[in-house]
Amino acid sequence: KILFIGRNNAGKTALIHRAKGRLSRYHHPDHEPQLHEVIFGKQSCLAFEQDFNNPTRTKFAETDAEGLVFVVDASGDERFDEARDRFYEVLLLELLGHAINVPVLILANKSEHIQAAPEIELYFHLKVSQLVEMGNAKGAWNVKMFMCSAEWGTGYQEVFAWLGDRL
């Protein structure tokens, strides 16, 4: 299983639909966790999708997940700090000490938008280099950030191949 987390409207469902070979233009916000069967690289997996601001959110350890995908809206700069703080909370409280060498993907979705932040800005705001160092020091996770667009269908193939190679 792969746990997909992120704020509402970040594009979690759209990316999962892309992985399934489908495109759906609009998705209603999911208030309950959703389970999807998808293929990442050569691996068939269950994608467990949920909004990390949901107070009834299932914790990483409860899902038996083997990987974590954090989806952030690259065009929503007013929410970067909040998204980063919640993501760090998930990593530090739920993953650190409970898992070893978990692949952790940060997907900056909606990169096609004119107001989307450049990759270097997102890397800075999300403090990706700190996550990489922390994960390496603890042997807890392997972090990689990708820019992608579920709407345009760009970048996600490389993402899912990277994830599939690490499962």
- Say whether 76 counts as a known binding-site residue: no
Tell me if 6 is assigned to a ligand binding site: yes
Q: Pairing mode, if any, of strands 43-51 and 102-109?
A: unpaired
Q: Tell whether 149 is in a known binding site.
A: no
Does the annotation flag 49 for ligand binding?
Answer: no
Q: Is 13 annotated as a binding residue?
A: yes
- List all residues 6 or more positions away from 111 whose beta carbon is below 8 Å from its beta carbon: 74, 147, 148, 149, 154, 155
Is 101 annotated in some ligand binding site?
no
The verdict on whether residue 53 carries a ligand-binding annotation is: no
For residue 156, give the nearest of 124, 111, 102, 90 by alpha carbon. Answer: 111
Query: Which strand ranges, in their side-by-side order, compose the sheet holding 2-6?
Result: 34-40, 43-51, 2-6, 67-73, 102-109, 141-147
144 is in an annotated binding site: no
The neighbour count for residue 145, using CB atoms within 10 Å, is: 19
- Confirm or deny that 153 is annotated as ligand binding: no
10 is in an annotated binding site: yes
Name the binding residues for Mg(2+).
13
Binding-site residue ranges: 6-13, 109-112
Binding residues for GTP: 6-13, 109-112
